[in-house]
Amino acid sequence: MTRRAHVHRLPTLGPDDTTALRRAIDVGRIEPGAIAAILGKTEGNGCVNDFSRGFAVQSLKLALAPHVDPEGIAFVMSGGTEGGLAPHLLVFEVREVADPPGAPPALALGVARTPGLPPEAIGRRAQVDAVAEAVGRAMAEAGIGDPEAVHYVQVKCPLLTADRVAEARGRGTTTATADTLKSMGLSRGASALGVALALGEVAPAALAEAEVGRRLDRFSTRASCSAGIELAACEVLLLGNAPGWAGPLVAAHDVMEDAIDLEAVRRALARAGLPTAGQLDAGARGRLVAVLAKAEAASTGRVRGARHTMLDDSDVSATRHARALVGGVLAGLTGTTELFVSGGAEHQGPDGGGVVAVIAVRDGRAG
- The minimum distance between CB 363 and a copy of itself, in angstroms, equals 20
210 exposed, middle or buried (CB, 10 Å; 0-12, 13-18, 19+)?
exposed
Tell me if residue 182 is catalytic: no
CB of 81 to a copy of itself, least distance (A): 5
d(CA 20, CA 88): 10
Beta carbon nearer to a copy of itself, 104 or 299: 299
> Rounded to the nearest whole angstrom, what is the least distance from the CB of residue 196 to a copy of itself in the complex?
22
CB of 302 to a copy of itself, least distance (A): 8
- Please list, in sequence order, all residues whose beta carbon lies within 8 angstroms of the beta carbon of residue 293, skipping any fewer than 6 positions away: 224, 256, 265, 326, 330, 339, 340, 341, 342, 354, 355, 356, 357
Nearer to a copy of itself, 29 or 285 (CB): 285
DSSP 8-state class, residue 148: G
Angstrom distance (rounded) from CA 290 to CA 229: 25
The residue (of 251 and 339) whose beta carbon lies closer to a copy of itself is 339
Catalytic residue of the set 41, 156, 220, 224: 156
CA neighbours within 13 Å on the CB side: how many for 115? 6
What is each CA distance from 360 to 7, 28, 132, 290, in whole angstroms? Answer: 10, 22, 27, 7
Catalytic residue among 226, 294, 317, 342: 226
Nearer to a copy of itself by C-beta: 20 or 144? 20
Q: Which residues belong to the active site?
A: 156, 226
